[in-house]
């Protein structure tokens, strides 16, 4: 079991499995898999870890076709973690800072208190000693409420249509939308819903901050396989994505070049050195909105070369901005 899985996602899941075994009579792999949103093989690995590494009395019941405790287990035993696992968990706990003031702050604080209670004393001591030296900074906090996120998450899971008022960013006009939620995700501190509609299977991205507070859950729609966000975002630059592809070429001067070299902005990127210390930057994206803003953020240290549409829009925006200072 790798470090990242053990220190956060898997430990969270195993705490849930422990509570589930205490509440339900011998839940099977299919129900546990559905409950925690992972494969049956992942659940099997979790249970094997709980039996072997945590010495929990779990057995498979042929009678009930599921797993159960052979004796009462009130609390999970203290877990011994490696140094790498302790540090990874420390970083995960520090990430709570980005959710201060959001709907997730209190649930996350509560979760980590429960999780830390199951660590061996030495591991906990190591975390406390290092906590003051690691921080996680955020540019902002989403105003989305826990109730809204839970409702939309369940609508995705249960394949339920929703009716909601939505304000378009470009026109500012608000209207009723009947959507089929597919996936909920966070990007840059903002929450987005990927959804199709009864009229089209095409998936669009909706910013939760532009949704009305009243969301009506409707009928069940034909179930789809879980949305593959990783595949869909292969050429995404920012939160939005689509089926189009644009090959973008930009020149960065010697001032901006060091910052471009030190980060992978997208898997498709190609960075070529220039004789003057600058770089040619090429990348394939599926939407020009956010990469245009990114290019403009570099000011005089960059020049867009292609595609023509992007170059034209940037030139227009710069001209309009320049007119503000005349």
Mean pLDDT is lowest, of 146-150, 205-209, 257-261, 293-297, for 146-150
Does residue 253 register a pLDDT over 90?
A: yes
Higher pLDDT, 276 or 121: 276
Q: What is the pLDDT of residue 73?
A: 80
Do 199 and 125 lie in a common domain?
no
Q: How confident is the model at residue 161 (pLDDT cuts 50, 70, 90)?
A: very high
Does residue 116 register a pLDDT over 80?
A: no
- For 250, phi and psi rounded to 5 degrees? -135, 145
Q: What is the pLDDT of residue 326?
A: 77
Does residue 129 register a pLDDT over 60?
A: no
Provide the residue range defining the domain that includes 157. 146-227
Does residue 307 register a pLDDT over 90?
A: yes
Do 79 and 118 lie in a common domain?
yes
Question: DSSP states of 99-123 as a string?
Answer: GTTSTTHHHHHHHHHHHHTTB-HHH
Does residue 260 register a pLDDT over 90?
A: yes
Domain membership of residue 136 (yes or no) is no
Q: What is the pLDDT of residue 227?
A: 77
Domain membership of residue 139 (yes or no) is no
CB 171 within 8 A of CB 212: no
List pLDDT tens digits, range 174-184: 889 999 999 88
CATH assignment at residue 279: 3.30.70
Domain membership of residue 270 (yes or no) is yes
Q: How confident is the model at residue 247 (pLDDT cuts 50, 70, 90)?
A: very high
Question: What is the rounded distance in angstroms from the CA atom of residue 100 to the CA atom of residue 296?
Answer: 30
Do 156 and 56 lie in a common domain?
no
Q: How confident is the model at residue 300 (pLDDT cuts 50, 70, 90)?
A: very high
> Mean pLDDT over all residues of the chain?
82
CB 156 within 8 A of CB 220: no
Q: How confident is the model at residue 244 (pLDDT cuts 50, 70, 90)?
A: confident
User: Whole-prediction pTM value?
Assistant: 0.59
Do 212 and 303 lie in a common domain?
no
Do 127 and 183 lie in a common domain?
no
Domain boundary among 198, 227, 256: 227
Domain membership of residue 251 (yes or no) is yes
Higher pLDDT, 63 or 114: 63
CATH assignment at residue 162: 2.30.30
Mean pLDDT of 148-156: 88
Q: What is the pLDDT of residue 79?
A: 61
Q: Which of 88-92, 116-120, 195-199 has the highest mean predicted lDDT (pLDDT)?
A: 195-199
Chain centroid offset of residue 282 CA: 26
Do 258 and 312 lie in a common domain?
yes
CATH assignment at residue 86: 1.10.10
Do 218 and 282 lie in a common domain?
no
Domain membership of residue 294 (yes or no) is yes
Instruction: Please state, in angstroms and as integers, the Cα–Cα distance from residue 320 to each residue in 63, 137, 287, 294, 323, following that order.
Output: 74, 33, 22, 17, 5
Do 8 and 107 lie in a common domain?
yes
Q: What is the pLDDT of residue 4?
A: 40
Does residue 250 register a pLDDT over 80?
A: yes
Do 71 and 103 lie in a common domain?
yes
List pLDDT tens digits, range 6-29: 445 777 788 888 888 887 778 888
Domain count, the chain: 3
């Amino acid at each position: 079991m790798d470090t990242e899985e053990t220190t956060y996602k898997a430990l969270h899941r195993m705490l849930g499995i422990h509570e589930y075994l205490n509440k339900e009579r011998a839940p099977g792999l299919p129900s546990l898999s559905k409950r925690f949103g992972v494969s049956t093989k992942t659940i099997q690995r979790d249970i094997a870890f709980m039996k072997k590494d945590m010495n929990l009395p779990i057995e498979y019941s042929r009678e009930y076709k599921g797993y159960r405790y052979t004796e009462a287990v009130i609390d999970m035993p203290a877990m011994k973690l490696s140094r790498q696992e302790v540090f990874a968990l420390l970083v995960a706990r520090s990430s709570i800072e980005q959710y201060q003031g959001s709907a997730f702050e209190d649930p996350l604080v509560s979760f980590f208190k429960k999780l830390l209670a199951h660590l061996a004393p030495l591991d906990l001591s190591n975390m406390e000693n290092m906590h003051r030296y690691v921080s996680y900074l955020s540019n902002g906090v989403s105003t989305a409420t826990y109730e809204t996120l839970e409702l939309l998450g369940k609508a995705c899971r249960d394949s339920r249509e929703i009716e909601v008022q939505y304000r378009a960013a470009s026109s500012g006009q608000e209207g009723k939308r009947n959507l089929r939620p597919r996936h909920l995700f966070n990007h840059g501190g903002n929450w987005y819903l990927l959804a199709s509609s009864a009229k089209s299977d095409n998936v669009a991205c909706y910013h939760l901050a532009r949704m009305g507070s009243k969301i009506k859950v409707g009928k069940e729609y034909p179930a789809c396989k879980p949305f593959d966000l990783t595949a869909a975002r292969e050429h995404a630059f920012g939160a939005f994505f689509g089926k189009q592809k644009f090959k973008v070429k930009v020149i960065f001067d010697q001032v901006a070049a060091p910052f471009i070299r030190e980060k992978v902005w997208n898997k498709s990127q190609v960075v070529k050195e220039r004789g003057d210390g600058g770089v040619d930057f090429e990348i394939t994206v599926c939407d020009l909105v956010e990469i245009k803003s990114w290019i403009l953020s570099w000011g005089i240290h960059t020049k867009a070369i292609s595609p023509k549409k992007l170059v034209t829009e940037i030139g227009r925006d710069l001209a309009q901005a320049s007119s503000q200072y005349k």
